[in-house]
Structures are given as structure tokens and as C-alpha cells.
Chains A and B, each alone.
Chain A
Amino acid sequence: MIDLMGVSKSFGDVHAVRDVSLHVEQGEILCLIGPSGSGKSTLLRCINGLEVPEAGQVYVDGEPLAFGNPKLLQAQRTKMGFVFQHFHLFPHMTVLGNLTLAPVQVLGMDPQSAQNTALALLERVGLSDKRDVYPAQLSGGQKQRVAIARALCMNPEVMLFDEPTSALDPEMVGEVLDVMKELAQEGMTMLVVTHEMGFAREVSSRVLFLDEGQIVEENTPELLFSHPQSPRLQDFLSKVL
């Protein structure tokens, strides 16, 4: 479903991602772990074209991301839901407005069915009562659940999560992870950049450990956490576990 071929991205002198190749099957749940600055967020942002790789190619459903063709790139992006660390809800719209904007504008859904989809998704993330509220009135955990629902409204084939719980107060992490676990159980293809080792261990089908812009080690969560091979992963795990 998603293929990366030799993707590289640098910012000035910093090589954030170096020559990364990756194949993701439908239904897989990938967790990307690693120290901060290891390039995991940049890698995730390359997948939906928020960052333009300077070398290599990203394929979605076998089709290369069309950086030179804005129309096609937009269509490709609708296949991928993206959840940001800092939510990035639209502050001038209600929760319902946030959810229905893209389905109506981009997919051309009629407003009534977009609203029905949005309400169903709000119920799924447990926020039906917040439909007419503005983002400023929500807690961090609620904002992130709305952001997940907003991405799901586009009926994506894959969900990309960029440190979805890192900006949350500890007591709100659980409610967001619960929504994500539920999604995983429903068979959604997911790529999750996270520092939540418990989540990675419990939910993912494969864990990638990144350091200095490269995939240093990848394995099933059981093996990766219990039998880390590389010294760098051993060092990392000793610090976070």
C-alpha cells in the first residue's frame, strides 16, 4: 500500500532521513520509535508530502506521490489521514465544521451526508455532545480525538499519526490511545510515530527503530523489545523502559 524507495531529506546540514526504504502492507500497524531527532516525524511527513524528499520516491497504491501536480497530490493525500502532535484543529470552526470541511470541499460530498458521517465518527470517539463547540473549549485529549475523527471523515486507506499523545497531559493520553487501539482492531492501516512503548508493544504488527535518519532495526514488537539486536536500540530501550 505504501512504499518508500531510498527516501532522503535534509534541513540545511542536518540529514533528517537518509536513504530509507520501506514497504507497508494493508492492515499493518507500524510503530516508529527512536530518540528525538532520529527522523521518524520527518519520515512520516514525507509519506503524505508535507515534506518533499530530496531523493527517492514515495509510492501510494503503487503510484508515485505527484509533487509536480498539485491536483493529483491532493487526491493522493485524501487516501491518507494525518494526525498532528499539536492537533491543528481549525479554531474558527466548530467541531462539526472541522469534520465536514474537507469531505464537502475536497470529496464533493453533500453537506447533509458529510454531517451524518461526522456525527457517526464523533460518536465513535465519544464526543457527540461537542459537535457545536469551538476547539478552544476542548481539552487536549478531546482536541486530538476530534482531530482523529476529522482525518477519518475522509475515509482514508491509511492513518498517519505523528506523536499523537506527546503534547497531552498524562491523564489524557489514555483516551487518545483507546481510540487508536479501536481503529487498529478494525483493521485500519496505521503508521504511528510514538514514544508510547506500551502502545507499540501491545498494538503494532511491526516496530521500526530509527536513529540518525535510518531504520536501524525492525521486528515484531515481541522480538524487538525482548531481544534488541543493535547496541543503539539496546541503549535506547534501557533509557525509555
Chain B
Amino acid sequence: MDFSIMTTENLLFMLKSACLSVGIAVVCLLMGIVLGTVTAAGRLSKNGLLNTVASVYVEVFRGTPMMMQITFAYLALPALISLIAGHPVRFNPLVTGTVAIGLNSGAYSTELIRSGILGVDKGQWEAADALGLSYRQKMGKVILPQAFKRIVPPLVNEFITLIKDTSLLSSIGIVELMKSATVIGANYYAYLPPLTVASAIYLTLTLTISHFARKLERRLSASD
């Protein structure tokens, strides 16, 4: 196996692409947390319409492949909007791909956040009610801070998943880590070295994050 093609220049190219992968994953995670919190509130609400909208969103995004969602958003959605707008529309691949993964992550985060909230002891809700706290105060001061501890560890796992999932964006031409490896491979007609290096970078990223996740988890459970 000849790793001489992995020049400093090529390695730097891959590291830069890895940064893009992580960057996209961070944005998607944050999008997912915001969306997931809103949708979890919808799923927990007694309002039938909110509940249905939230449930449909979660089921659609969890029930179809992420690859399909990304491709749909990039290739099919612009066609649909062109039809409605009456003139051709093109989507920016980076923005489209990021939003697609963010929406997908939101669906999964919804369930994480919902079960974290439902996991808080019923007595805590009642104690807050009995003291006359409003719904907003009860959630903000009593329930969410306790749910947070249960939600953080699975959210870190979600982040790891997202880093791996960003590789799907190579299919719509975004030069993230996966794409950078295939580009180098195509240049030299040698895929083994760049794909091996890319895999090693993915593994380093995910192992590092799960290491810190375990530390965080230990610290969060320490105050119990």
C-alpha cells in the first residue's frame, strides 16, 4: 500500500474537509435541539393540532432514509418550487444539505427530549403546581433543568451520529471529509490511502467525543 500520495497538501485538504464535516454536524445538532425542543413541547401538549403536526414531522423524518431526504431536498424540492414560482430555482447544496440533516436530527432529538421530560418524577410537576408556578415557570425552573441531565448523554450520541451522517452530503457535491477522500482517490487512481486516512479521522473524532461524553455523564450523575 503506497501512502506517498498522502502529501502534506492532501492531508491538509482532508483536515480542512473534516473541519467542514464537524462544522455541519454542530449546526445540525443545534438546529435539531431547537427544533426538537419545540416539537417535544408540541408532542407533550394537549392541543390536538400541535400534537398531530409534531407527530407527523417526527414520523416522516424518522421513517424515511436520510439519503432520500437530502437528495429530495436538493433535487426534487427545487423542481417543485420552480413549478410554483414559475421560474427556475436552484438551491445552494451546503445550505440545503445542512437543513435536511438538521430537520432529520430534530426528529430524533424530539424523542430524546420528550422522554427526558417525561422521565422527571410526577411529584415534581405536582409540587410546582401546588406552589402556583405557571406552566412556563414550571418547565423553565423545575422540569427542564432536571430533564437536561437525562437528555445530554443521548444528545452527545446524536452528535456522533451526525458527524458520520454528514458523509452523505458527498452525494450532493459538498466537499466534506468523505468527498475529499474520494476526490484524492480519483486524482491518483488510488482509493485505499485516502479512504483509510478519512476513516481514521472519523474514528478519532467519534472516540474523542464519546470519551468526553462519558466524563460529562459521570459529572452529571455525581450531583444526584
Residues of A within 8 A of B (CB): 48-50, 70-71, 74-75, 77-78, 80-82, 84, 86, 88-92, 101-102, 105-106, 134, 136, 150-151, 154
**Within the complex, what minimum Cβ distance (angstroms) separates A71 from chain B?**
8
Judged by a CB distance under 8 angstroms, whether B81 is at the interface is: no
**Within the complex, what minimum Cβ distance (angstroms) separates B135 from chain A?**
7
- Bound Cα distance A48, B131 (Å): 10
On whether the beta carbons of A154 and B145 are closer than 8 Å, the reply is no
Choose from A88, A106, A154 the contact partner of B127 (Cβ within 8 Å). A88
- Which of A84, A86, A90 is packed against the most chain B CB atoms within 10 Å? A90
Residues of B within 8 A of A (CB): 121, 123-124, 126-127, 129-135, 137, 141-142, 145-146, 223-224
Please name all residues of chain B whose beta carbon is closer than 8 Å to the beta carbon of A134 when the two chains form the complex.
223
Ordered by A's residue number, 5 sampled pairs between the chains whose C-beta atoms are within 8 Å are A70-B135, A84-B130, A92-B145, A101-B131, A101-B141
Please name all residues of chain B whose beta carbon is closer than 8 Å to the beta carbon of A90 when the two chains form the complex.
124, 127, 142, 146
Choose from A74, A84, A101 the contact partner of B134 (Cβ within 8 Å). A74
**Within the complex, what minimum Cβ distance (angstroms) separates B150 from chain A?**
12
On whether the beta carbons of B126 and A84 are closer than 8 Å, the reply is yes
Choose from A48, A71, A106 the contact partner of B137 (Cβ within 8 Å). A106
Please name all residues of chain A whose beta carbon is closer than 8 Å to the beta carbon of B223 when the two chains form the complex.
92, 134, 136
On whether the beta carbons of A150 and B131 are closer than 8 Å, the reply is yes
Please name all residues of chain B whose beta carbon is closer than 8 Å to the beta carbon of A48 when the two chains form the complex.
130
**Within the complex, what minimum Cβ distance (angstroms) separates A188 from chain B?**
16
On whether the beta carbons of B141 and A88 are closer than 8 Å, the reply is no
- CB-CB nearest 10 A-B residue pairs: A88-B127, A82-B130, A88-B123, A102-B131, A78-B132, A77-B132, A74-B132, A106-B132, A105-B137, A92-B145
- Which of B132, B133, B142 is packed against the most chain A CB atoms within 10 Å? B132
On whether the beta carbons of B126 and A77 are closer than 8 Å, the reply is no
On whether the beta carbons of A154 and B224 are closer than 8 Å, the reply is no
- Bound Cα distance A89, B135 (Å): 18
Please name all residues of chain B whose beta carbon is closer than 8 Å to the beta carbon of A78 when the two chains form the complex.
131-132
Choose from B131, B146, B224 the contact partner of A136 (Cβ within 8 Å). B224
Please name all residues of chain B whose beta carbon is closer than 8 Å to the beta carbon of A75 when the two chains form the complex.
132
Please give me the residue from chain B that is nearest to A85 by CB atom: B123
Choose from B137, B141, B224 the contact partner of A91 (Cβ within 8 Å). B224
**Within the complex, what minimum Cβ distance (angstroms) separates A191 from chain B?**
13
Choose from B121, B132, B135 the contact partner of A102 (Cβ within 8 Å). B132
Excluding A91-B224, A92-B223, A102-B131, 12 further A-B contacts by CB distance (< 8 Å) are A50-B129, A74-B132, A77-B130, A78-B131, A78-B132, A82-B127, A90-B146, A92-B145, A101-B131, A101-B133, A101-B141, A102-B133
- Bound Cα distance A78, B223 (Å): 30
Choose from B121, B130, B134 the contact partner of A50 (Cβ within 8 Å). B130
